[in-house]
């Protein structure tokens, strides 16, 4: 129940559970499919404590949480009951590319944890073999190798499950299709039997035929580790299943629908879908390798430079099936190799910031971001530190580009889909051992990390910290740093717990206080930058020069007024000083319209500070002390 309040606030701000079609999560993000994204309060989510940011990409509404996303996901899913909602359809029109990204992420995301785990085991087993710690005939090696190979070898079964869920089909039918594709007897037939005849003789798709189905030739392929055949077969199988559901009486539907569906889709998959999809995969692999080989150094440089941009918008999912297909068809992949240095570049930049900054808040954010970055999870670094400051993010992209160029020119390839960060290093050991490509990878990530660090450390570093207020001891020594937030309104002071809005009263959005205004003006409570101004004018976000994020939310549900009765006097991005007029509002007209004007003033990132102390006054005037943030 640790994240119950946060989960409830997230559900409310994505438009309620009735606005959610489905919910999934990856390493750091909740991935919603919403019926209507306009119903989601994106700015409220961005300003919520516990939420890093919001990204809308690939037809998904992504709420970036951080490393504890599994716990938050469990709470959100339990409270919203989204397992059941996942099967609902949506009429939302999305582009072809967005649909592609959505399908790929939906199919592969559930497998990534175990896929990375087994890949890591496979990689470390290869490392131990190369170092002579294990021999290929030892029982330890055989068992570890089996663990490492199991998921990827039987990948069609796992993808049959996830594809069926994504296509709203029977998951066990999907798994049965996958199991048939990797049925061991088919492999033994091709290994020991004589072909009946050969199709397409003399062409690039020349295919021996070992068996027939009702007289129709079946081209047996090796579907172990394959990706495209099972996804397409499950998609078609779902359509066939839907057809039989319509015509078979409900009293016998439970067993007759799977019976009929499997009798149709499995032969179709083996005779037509599987071979065609396999040939398409081979062409995709050959085409990818051809483009990459035109100039590996240019390809590596471009991939390294833009990979983090792809991650921000969720576009990196487009590369996942290509990489897996390359591993299946070519037994190696140069694409993801080129981007391997990006997380190390990002980590080097954040490490430099951590060592240079005197800002306690920024330093405290940098420490876990560096640790996460070492293990390949860079969202906390990107969204929490480098991207908001722009220059560090650009420097990390430059460092990643240089590392990617080195990796490209050295011909580095990945041989398994393993772990992230340092756990991904064994993935680049070839079956023959540590070769030129492996050492090129080591050089690439080392250069990315060191260059990112040096560029940030000596590249005109500008600290966030400015002169801060503090309390001193009897000898003048600094005891506690603090920042005072002045009152932006005039009126009666109300405890935050008494606000009739659970998002504020529970403290889910941050600590603070509320004011019942007696005049229709909002003044700046600090020196800083106006970081968010809602289009409806009812709420303002300010980041102080000390890094304190302050949210002023005028009234309850006043967003429904769509800006009526609110007159902003500043625009987003403006630098403001204490006492500057930010906004005016027609206090009487808003109340006459039936809205409550109780205005929370909260520190939305209060979790970064020791405490937030409220004023003890019953009423406040403009620019009187309201909150004290203990830094």
Alpha carbon of residue 30 to chain centroid: 7
Output the pLDDT for position 58: 60
Q: Which residue positions in the chain have pLDDT lower than 50?
A: 84-93, 465-480
DSSP of 148-199, one letter per residue?
HHHHHHTHHHHHHHHHHHHTT--HHHHHHHHHHHT-HHHHHHHHHSPPSEEE
For residue range 87-104, what is the model confidence (pLDDT) as tens digits? Answer: 344 444 455 656 766 777
The overall pTM is greater than 0.75? no
DSSP of 480-527, one letter per residue?
EEEEEEEPSS-EEEE-GGGSS-HHHHTSTT-EEEEEEESSSEEE-SSS
Backbone angles phi, psi at 379, to 5 degrees: -60, -45
Task: Reply yes or no on whether 316 is catalytic.
Answer: no
Q: State the Rg of the chain over Cα.
A: 29
- Cβ proximity of 437 and 408 under 8 Å: no
Which residues belong to CATH 3.30.1360.60 in the chain?
A: 4-94
Output the pLDDT for position 466: 36
Task: Reply yes or no on whether 26 is catalytic.
Answer: yes
Nearest to 326 by CA among 453, 456, 267, 414: 414
Output the pLDDT for position 101: 64
Out of 25, 316, 538, 553, the active site residue is 553
Q: Hey, what CATH topology would domain 478-630 get?
A: Glucose Permease (Domain IIA) (2.70.70)
Nearest-angstrom CA–CA distance, 370 and 390? 18
Between the alpha carbon of residue 370 and those of residues 29, 186, 222, 332, the distances in Å are 18, 49, 42, 30
Output the pLDDT for position 488: 94
Q: Hey, what CATH topology would domain 4-94 get?
A: Gyrase A; domain 2 (3.30.1360)
For residue range 186-230, what is the model confidence (pLDDT) as tens digits? Answer: 878 877 778 888 888 877 678 888 899 999 999 888 888 778 889
Which residues belong to CATH 2.70.70.10 in the chain?
A: 478-630
Output the pLDDT for position 367: 86
Output the pLDDT for position 473: 45
Nearest to 528 by CA among 480, 579, 602, 487: 579
Out of 25, 26, 316, 546, the active site residue is 26
């Amino acid at each position: 129940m640790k994240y119950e309040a946060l989960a409830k606030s997230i559900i409310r701000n994505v438009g309620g559970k009735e606005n959610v079609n489905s919910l999934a999560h990856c390493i750091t993000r909740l991935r919603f499919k919403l019926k209507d994204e306009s119903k989601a309060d994106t700015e409220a989510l961005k300003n919520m404590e516990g939420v890093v940011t919001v990204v809308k990409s690939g037809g998904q509404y992504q709420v970036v949480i951080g490393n504890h996303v599994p716990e938050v996901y469990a709470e959100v899913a339990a409270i919203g009951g989204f397992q059941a909602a996942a099967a609902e359809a949506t009429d939302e029109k999305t582009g072809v590319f967005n649909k592609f990204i959505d399908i790929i992420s939906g199919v592969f995301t559930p497998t990534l944890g175990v896929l990375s785990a087994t890949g890591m085991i496979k990689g470390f087993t290869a490392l131990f073999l190369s170092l002579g710690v294990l021999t290929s005939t030892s029982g330890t090696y055989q068992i570890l190798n089996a663990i490492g190979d199991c998921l990827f070898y039987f990948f069609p079964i796992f993808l049959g499950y996830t594809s069926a869920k994504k296509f709203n089909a029977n998951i066990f039918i999907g798994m049965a299709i996958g199991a048939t594709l990797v049925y061991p007897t088919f492999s033994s037939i091709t290994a020991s039997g004589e072909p009946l005849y050969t199709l397409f003789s003399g062409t690039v798709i020349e295919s021996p035929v070992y068996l027939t189905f009702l007289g129709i030739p079946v081209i047996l392929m090796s579907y172990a580790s394959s990706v495209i055949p099972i996804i397409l077969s499950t998609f078609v199988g779902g359509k066939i299943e839907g057809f039989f559901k319509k015509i078979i009486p409900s009293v016998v539907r439970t067993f007759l629908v799977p019976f009929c569906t499997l009798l149709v889709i499995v032969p179709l998959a083996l005779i037509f879908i599987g071979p065609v999809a396999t040939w398409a995969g081979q062409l995709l692999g050959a085409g990818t390798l051809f483009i990459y080989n035109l100039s590996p150094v240019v390809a590596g440089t471009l991939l390294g430079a833009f990979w983090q941009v792809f991650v921000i918008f969720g576009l990196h999912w487009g590369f996942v099936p290509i990489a897996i297909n390359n591993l299946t068809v070519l037994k190696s992949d140069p694409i993801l190799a080129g981007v391997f240095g990006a997380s190390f570049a990002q980590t080097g930049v954040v490490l430099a910031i951590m060592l240079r900054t005197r800002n306690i808040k920024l330093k405290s954010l940098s420490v876990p971001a560096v640790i996460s970055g070492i293990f390949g999870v860079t969202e906390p670094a990107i969204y929490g530190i480098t991207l908001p400051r722009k220059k560090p993010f650009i420097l990390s992209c430059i460092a990643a580009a240089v590392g990617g160029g080195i990796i490209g020119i050295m011909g580095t390839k990945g041989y398994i889909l393993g772990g992230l960060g340092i756990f991904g290093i064994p993935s680049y050991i070839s079956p023959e051992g540590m070769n030129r490509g492996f050492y090129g990878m080591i050089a690439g990530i080392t250069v990315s990390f060191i260059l990112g660090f040096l560029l940030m450390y000596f590249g005109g570093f500008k600290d966030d910290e400015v002169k801060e207020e503090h309390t001193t001891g009897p000898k003048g020594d600094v005891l506690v740093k603090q920042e005072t937030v002045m009152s932006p309104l005039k009126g009666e002071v109300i405890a935050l717990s008494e606000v009739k809005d659970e998002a504020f009263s529970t403290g889910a959005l941050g600590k603070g206080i509320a004011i019942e205004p007696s005049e229709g003006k909002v003044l700046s409570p600090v020196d800083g930058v106006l970081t968010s101004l809602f289009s409806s004018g009812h709420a303002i976000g300010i980041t102080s020069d000390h890094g304190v994020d302050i949210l002023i939310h005028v009234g309850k549900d006043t967003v429904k007024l769509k800006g009526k009765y609110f007159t902003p006097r500043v625009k987003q991005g403006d630098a403001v000083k204490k006492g500057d007029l930010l906004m005016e509002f027609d206090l009487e007209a808003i109340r006459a319209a039936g809205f409550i004007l109780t205005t929370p003033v909260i520190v939305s990132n209060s979790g970064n500070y020791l405490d937030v102390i409220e004023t003890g006054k019953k009423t406040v005037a403009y620019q009187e002390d309201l909150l004290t943030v203990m830094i």
